[in-house]
Amino acid sequence: MDSAHRGRNVWASGGALFAGVLMLVNGVLGVLAGITGIAEDDVYARLGDYVYKFNLTTWGWIHLVLGVLIAVTGWGILKGAEWARGAGIGLAAVGMVAQFLWLPYTPLWALISLALGAFVIWALCTDRGGAATKGVS
């Protein structure tokens, strides 16, 4: 294996490991946002009128369920579970859609989450068995 290919593989493996950490942290933050949305309907203020309207309690449940799934999948990626890579790609995509729809409530955080979701998808798609098969002890 030449040094350029080895360098790309190290970056991809490191990216996949970082993607697992990002998913775990983002999932926990999603759970907290979900609990906030469920508990108090007046915590988030919507900016203007938006086509995709949901009750804040509904958004709270969406974020809570997605947060739990994303955190568990992030943990699976860190442990090197076979199912976690594909599930991580799918959940990152679903999470990006949810953040796009959540945009009027927390615009800056939604944009940051969209960027993190894109990175997670890239990292998990480019890792060819590095971090996903080794796991973290």
Give the contacts of 17 (CB within 8 A, at least 6 positions apart): 77, 78, 131, 136
All residues at 6 or more sequence positions from 126 whose CB lies less than 8 Å from its CB, including other chains: 12, 15, 16
Would you write out the chain's pLDDT as a tens digit for each of its 137 residues? 555 555 555 555 678 889 999 999 999 999 998 998 888 766 666 556 666 667 778 888 999 999 999 999 999 999 989 899 999 999 999 999 998 988 887 889 889 999 999 999 999 998 766 544 454 44
What pTM value is reported for the model?
Answer: 0.79
**Residue 46: what pLDDT?**
59
Cα(89)–Cα(126) distance, rounded to whole angstroms? 11
